[in-house]
Amino acid sequence: MSATPSVPLRTHPLRQELNDEVHARPPEVLHAPLRASFLAAFADRAHREREWLHLSALGREFGVALPAAPRSHLSVDFGPFRLRYERHSEFSRYKFIVPGRGTEPFVDTAIARVPAGWLAALPGEVLVASHVEFLPMDAAAPNWDDVANRYFAGNAIVGAEVGDGAATALTDFHVHADGFERLLLLDRHLTPRQAGRMLQRLLEIDSYRMMALLALPVARELAPYLDAREAELAEIATALTRATEADEAGLLERLTHLEAEIESRVAGNDFRFGAASAYHDLVRRRIAELREVRIQGLPTFREFTERRLEPAMATCRTMAARQEALSARVARANELLATRIDISHERQNQALLESMDRRARVQLRLQTTVEGLSVAAFTYYVVGLVGYLAKALKTAGAALNPELVMGLSIPLVALVAGYGIHKIRHMVARAAG
């Protein structure tokens, strides 16, 4: 059958990238027996380019050319070992794989083939380090006490049949003298790809468990701080009930400083608590994907995680909720005090307006009085001039009585003066808007 001819379509520029995301970080194809060493290094995105340069240096040492541009995941055979590299948002994972059985489990390790100098210069800080032994399982069920004594230094082990009985996984979650944890995976009838997925899940459980637990020291350090700030808020709230207007400015300054300090803490811790919750969800999801079957006498991965990890996550959730609640309480107290200060300001403004109104009325009365005096003074002056004019006319022969002329001119002059002053005041008021 001939291939269907391509159809011209307007394709979203991110289509291929988003489609390829579902195929990112495919599991390794693994065959028992093999040994692996796993590292999870805590390093933010700023280390990405440095990590890639470090990987490229390892490639040059073994004559293997790596791509020039950094990638988020890589699987490459260096000869003595195969390396699987994965870059995540906060950490990077390195898995060194060597096929075949060692002379003794957890003694002849895969990471022994990696140059010590290169490992010492690995970017970031190692948070998880594990040795893995993937071996075929004997027909007879082993004695788990012997397994614990032989491979796990006598520590209590955690384990279960995984993949609905296709394999058995065992660990003690202890860091041994060499600085590595140990994981023993015994194969019954895992397919190669299923083995890769199973090992990846088991290692991811430990990685995400440790990443989630990074929030626990933050929560423990936050507890006494929240105790002190809650006591301070209670003190301010009590003072607020007895405060006078003179005390309000000082209380507002204390509350504002407290709110800023708490918001700074929230901003610094919020990401860590949110990340812990996300990592915890991933741990539970990976455990569910193991499809565990209990081994008599051994705690399962789920039981161990619920007993040890759940209380720590509950502490983190409690501290995150406490700091959010405290932030909200401080904000409410700040709003209450600000409202109280606004009311005080409103009363002060009202009193000021009333005082200004009283002054305006006094000024108006003074202005009216001054205007009256001005009319009287103007009338007196003009009438005097009229008197001088009448006397001059009488001297010139006119039959006039100066006193009578002055008396008759007083109402007319007063009316003209009053109208003129009123007109001037009206013009000034209109010019002032």
65 and 169 both lie in a single domain: yes
188 and 235 both lie in a single domain: no
Q: Which residues of 360-390 are buried (b: 16+ CB within 10 A; e: fewer)?
A: eeeeeeeeeeebeeebeebbeebbeebbeeb
Kindly tell me the sign of the dihedral angle through the C-alpha atoms of 4, 6, 12, 18: positive
d(CA 126, CA 40): 6
Residue pair 57/122 in contact (Cβ under 8 Å)? The answer is no
Distances (CA, A) of 224 to 12, 232, 237, 329: 52, 12, 20, 18
Point out the domain boundary residue: 351, 378, 407: 351
151 and 65 both lie in a single domain: yes
Distances (CA, A) of 174 to 37, 278, 312: 15, 24, 18
Q: Is residue 313 part of a domain?
A: yes
Q: Which amino acid is at 399?
A: A
DSSP three-state, residue 232: helix
Domain count within the chain: 3
Kindly tell me the sign of the dihedral angle through the C-alpha atoms of 299, 304, 308, 311: negative
Place of tokens 């006039």: 400
Per-residue pLDDT tens over the stretch 382-409: 777 777 777 777 777 777 777 777 777 7
- Say which residue, 234 or 343, is predicted with more confidence: 234
Per-residue pLDDT tens over the stretch 193-213: 999 999 999 999 999 999 999
187 and 318 both lie in a single domain: no
Domain of residue 64, residue span: 25-203
275 and 138 both lie in a single domain: no
198 and 261 both lie in a single domain: no
For residue 269, pLDDT over 70 is answered with: yes
126 and 236 both lie in a single domain: no
Q: Which two structure tokens, joined as six digits, stand for 78?
A: 């260096």
Per-residue pLDDT tens over the stretch 236-264: 888 777 777 777 778 778 888 888 888 88
Distances (CA, A) of 370 to 153, 160, 377, 417: 109, 106, 10, 13
Question: Considering the entire predicted model, what is its pTM?
Answer: 0.75
- Say which residue, 191 or 243, is predicted with more confidence: 191
